[in-house]
Each structure stands twice: as C-alpha cells, then as structure tokens.
Amino acid sequence: MPLATDVDITPAGQRPDEDPSLAARNNGGTTPSADPSPPGRREALLVLGFGGPEGPGDVMPFLENVTRGRGIPPERLLDVAEHYQHFGGVSPINEQNRALVAAVEKECAAAGIDLPVYWGNRNWAPYVEHVWAQMADDGIEHVYVFPTSGFASWSGCRQYHEDVARARSVLTGAAPGGGPTAEKLPHYGDHPGFVQANAEALAAALAELPEELRGRARLVATAHSIPESMAAVAGPTGGAYQEELRRSARLVVDAVAPGREFDLVWQSRSGPPSVPWLEPDVNDHLQALAADGVPAVVLFPIGFVSDHVEVVWDLDNEARETAGELGMAFARAGTAGTHPAFVGMVRQLLEERRTGTPPRLGTNCPAHCCFVAPRPRPTA
Ligand SMILES: CC1=C(CCC(=O)O)c2cc3nc(cc4[nH]c(cc5[nH]c(cc1n2)c(C)c5CCC(=O)O)c(CCC(=O)O)c4C)C(CCC(=O)O)=C3C
Ligand SMILES: [Fe+2]
C-alpha cells in the first residue's frame, strides 16, 4: 500500500505530520454506525497506544513527537529525557502493549471471535499511519479502535480520534477513501472489568502495608495532570476528565472497602509554570497528608492502564521518595496491564459494538468535545 510521499520520507523518529484541518473535523472520521457488523465485512481490532522509546537514541525524537507545538519548555524535556535514561532509554510501554495485544488475541480466539488484532502508536513506531496502510493491504474493511486510555479529554480521547483521522488521511493509491473505516470504542473507566482489575491491585497494595497501618492508610488515586483549560472542555459539557476519574476511583475503592474515603490528585505535570494545570500534585498532597498526621498512603494510578514510565518513575521513585522523607509508609497499586478482567473487557466492548449496542461516550463525540486548538508549530 503506497503512502503519501511526505509520510514515506519521514525519518525514523519523526512522527508523520498532522493535518491541522483535522482539528476542526467532527470525530476525526471515526463515527460509529448504529448497525451491527454486516456479515462478511472484514474487520480488525486496533490497539492504539501512546508509544515510547526503545533505546537511548530514541528518547529526544520521541519527546519531540509528543510535545510538538505544545509549548513545553526545553528544560522540561531534558528533565523528562533523564527519567527515560534511567531505564536505558527504553520505555516499558511498548512491551506492555505487545503483551496486551497477545492477551486480547487469545481471549478473542477462545471466545470464537475470528478477527485479527493490530497494534499501532501515536508517538513511536509502529506508527498508526503505517499500521493503517498495512490493514488496508491486508484487505481489512473496518477497524474497531481500542485506545489505551479510558477517559475523556483531548489527551485521553479526542487525540486518539485524531490519530485515526490522520492515519486515514495519509493513505493514497489503492485506498483513496482512507483504507478501512473506523470506530473508536467507548470510555471504560467505569467498566466492571477495569474496576475489578484495579480493585484487586488496590487490595494487594493495601495488604503490603504493616497490618496496624492498613486501616489508617489514605487511599490516593492519581492521574496525569492536564492544563486547566483542557480540563474545562473535556467531554460534551466540560469537566468530564475529573468527573470520570473520580467515578472510576469511587467504584474501585467501593469494591475494596465500601464507602471508604479517598483522594484524587495529579501527577506528571508538564508545561511552563505560568500555565495552570490540575492540582494538587501528588507530592504536595503527600506533604499535606503528613502534616495532618496520616501515617501511610496507598497510591493507585487510576488514570493509566499499564506500569509505564509515568508510573514507575513519577510514583515508584519520586512519590515514594517524598513519602519516605515524610516518614510515611507507602504502597503503590499496579495498573490493569493484562489482568484477565481487563482483557475480557476489551473483548466485551468489541462484541457490544459488533452486535450494534448503541454508541457511548468516547465513540461518537460531538464536534466540540474535548476540542483544544492546535498551537502554531514552531518554525525552523
Ligand atoms: C491525560 C494524559 C495521559 C493519560 C491518557 C493516555 O494514556 O493517553 C497521558 C499518558 C502518557 N503520557 C506519557 C508521556 C508523556 N506525556 C507528556 C506530556 C503530556 N501528557 C499529557 C497528558 C496525558 N498523558 C499532557 C497534557 C502533556 C503535555 C503535552 C501536551 O499538551 O500534549 C510527555 C512530554 C514530556 C513531559 O512530561 O513534559 C511525555 C513523555 C506516556 C508514556 C509513558 C511511557 O513512555 O512509558 C503516557 C502513557
Ligand atoms: Fe502524557
């Protein structure tokens, strides 16, 4: 399948360019149909990930892909590059997504669903653009897109729609219509499979604490901070990022300790200090808890689906160190990963759409939903 020239000549490490007109396009071309999957249509599932570097030389080009045109200061990039270099320049995220794909393939096969599963990324190879061309080549006519993010916001939902639209827009030649049609699967932070995977992890983390501290430990959900301006427009009526995360965390805590108090705080803030992002930061929050005499904390990163760099660096190193300095006991719950309940959820979301369950939030987003205007790209 030939690709548009500007994509073909994209050097390794540089993401194929974005088409700014996509930002104004409803849904990025991923509107689901209300009908069930027609018999005989050749379909696939695409696990759409964030992407991450696979070696020291990949780190800076990866970071440039992620932050292109987003006004992130160079000092911040150098700082984050160091986090990646602590892991030899390799993010665990790609291996984790490969494992998820393998688990979902197995799950689908066991359920008698005969459908290929592909994997593509926004910010690193295999780029979604190239996987789209591959799927077109393989004769796929329709793709269900499962993003590795279950919540609203430009970063967590709309950008995945835009990734698909970009991938479709660069296809030429044999598939001038953009190759297979596409639909994104819905938000899943409140799905019983996601909740069960996180609840079991939270229970296990709580059990790591000395017994006498478990009852007094504060349960603290974390998610990626985003700019306040992005949070204000998340979802059809705004504020959906925090709302969905809070609901998800509530369901997880209730599955472990019904009605128990918890906090929702933010991690991994980026951007210049002059731009307000969601607060409090998890480290500041630990300070406040310590000042209140809280002796122990259990963090559960509800906003992420695997233990990637944001989790293993920002929580297992930075937040753990903060807690240590404050004399608080610390435990961190694992993410959904390849928990069977989470893998089963992916199959269920797919089956629901194939049998015509009405689209839910995250599938058929209205035009203004989560919309963040692209910044002008820096000129060379
Ligand atoms: C809401 C959200 C999620 C959850 C939803 C989802 O999962 O999609 C998420 C996930 C992730 N974020 C990740 C990494 C990064 N995010 C960055 C920057 C940013 N994230 C943002 C938001 C989010 N990010 C925002 C608003 C920015 C500022 C730039 C912009 O306005 O777009 C930067 C730039 C450097 C910096 O941190 O400043 C990096 C390196 C990784 C990969 C980890 C690995 O490699 O293991 C993952 C899964
Ligand atoms: Fe991020």
Q: How far from chain centre, in Å, is Cα 263? A: 21
More confident residue, 71 or 65: 65
118 is in an annotated binding site: no
**pLDDT given at position 346:** 98
Residue 375 lies in a domain: no
User: pLDDT of 316-365, one tens digit each?
Assistant: 999 999 999 999 999 999 999 999 999 999 999 999 999 988 777 888 78
From 268, 304, 317, 375, the mutation candidate for ligand 1 (largest count of ligand atoms within 8 A of CB) is 268
- Whole-angstrom CA distances from 346 to 36, 107, 234, 339, 368 are 17, 9, 23, 11, 27
Q: Residue 198's domain is classified under what CATH number?
A: 3.40.50.1400
Asked which of 11-20, 21-30, 332-341 is least confident by mean pLDDT, the reply is 11-20
**Per-residue confidence band for 172, with pLDDT thresholds at 50, 70 and 90:** low
Residue located nearest, by CA, to atom 28 of ligand 1: 270
**Per-residue confidence band for 173, with pLDDT thresholds at 50, 70 and 90:** low
Q: How many domains does the chain have?
A: 2
Residue located nearest, by CA, to atom 12 of ligand 1: 310
**pLDDT given at position 178:** 67
Q: Which is the closest atom of ligand 1 to the Cα of 160?
A: 8
User: pLDDT of 260-305, one tens digit each?
Assistant: 999 999 999 998 889 999 999 999 999 999 999 999 999 999 999 9
Q: Is the domain of 33 the same as that of 126?
A: yes
Ligand nearest to the CA of 266: 1
DSSP letter string, 136-190:
HHTT--EEEEEES--S-SIIIIIHHHHHHHHHHHTB-TT-TTTSSEEEEPPP-TT
Residue 316 lies in a domain: yes
Domain coverage including residue 283: 192-332
| Close Cβ partners of 1 (under 8 Å, ≥ 6 residues apart) | 133, 134, 136, 137, 171, 173, 174, 175, 179
Q: Tell how far the Cα of 355 is from the centroid of ligand 1, in angstroms.
A: 33
37 is in an annotated binding site: no
From 50, 87, 277, the mutation candidate for ligand 1 (largest count of ligand atoms within 8 A of CB) is 50
User: pLDDT of 105-156, one tens digit each?
Assistant: 999 999 999 999 999 999 999 999 999 999 999 999 999 999 999 999 999 9
Residue 323 lies in a domain: yes
Mean pLDDT along residues 189-214: 98
**pLDDT given at position 31:** 62
Q: Tell how far the Cα of 298 is from the centroid of ligand 1, in angstroms.
A: 23
Mean pLDDT along residues 150-178: 82
Q: Is the domain of 169 the same as that of 198?
A: no
Q: Is the domain of 170 the same as that of 244?
A: no
Q: Is the domain of 40 the same as that of 109?
A: yes
**pLDDT given at position 32:** 65
